[in-house]
Amino acid sequence: MKRILSPSILSADFSRLAEEVSLLEDMGIEEIHLDVMDGHFVPNITIGPPVIKSLRKETDLFFDAHLMITHPARYFDRFIDAGADGITCHVEVEESKKCLDMAVKEGIRAGISLNPETPLEKVLPYLEKADMVLVMTVHPGFGGQRFIREMIPKISALRDYIEKNGLDTRIQVDGGINTETAEDVLKAGAEILVSGSGVFKGDVRKNIERLKGIIEGFEK
């Protein structure tokens, strides 16, 4: 199973977003994480389809849209039209199953996410259909939060369940991922590491080199 780094542009410089994404491409990044917040499901508002559509013109990178919104199905087609290659919605919202079904039907990467306080059991029924499950390792809504170490056993339990049931579902983690926490989540079974501040705070090139080095070192 290939493990990758997926930078979250939530922590990028929005005044020069296209340049930031171009730098990510130069550094060999394969996909970027797009945090979409509605101010209702989470106490913050970020980007939507117009920003994604504009950015789509600048890059061919995989767009991983993480919909932290109460009604993801209502806006699903807009994200598809904007250029999203994968859409992840939260198991905590009523439209989670519908959103997952829509992603499968559209042939894009279908993801399901769960918050730190949500029991793992709640997401298990979705795994046969989901291409990816996102374990939040911070409380969603803001960037730059501290990693919740209590989520490591949840990642491990999820990895065990996936392997025991012969599933191909990939595990993504998001929240507080940096050079101090990356190896821990990799050991627990994570495959896609989302990092915002860990990439964009300070020297972006050096941060990416260090994080990719941890991932590559773990795979040897």
Is 35 tagged catalytic?
yes
Cα 157 to Cα 45, 121, 154, 164, distances in angstroms: 32, 10, 5, 10
Enumerate long-range contacts of 88-91, CB under 8 Å, 24 or more apart.
Answer: 88/64, 88/112, 88/113, 88/132, 88/134, 88/172, 89/113, 90/41, 90/114, 90/115, 90/140, 91/118, 91/122, 91/123, 91/126
Active-site choice (64, 174, 184, 203):
174
Neighbours of 168 (CB within 10 A): 11
Is 174 tagged catalytic?
yes
Q: Positive or negative CA dihedral for 14, 185, 100, 131?
A: positive
**Scanning the structure block, which residue is given the tokens 């969603």?**
140
Active-site choice (26, 35, 38, 203):
35
Active site residues: 35, 174
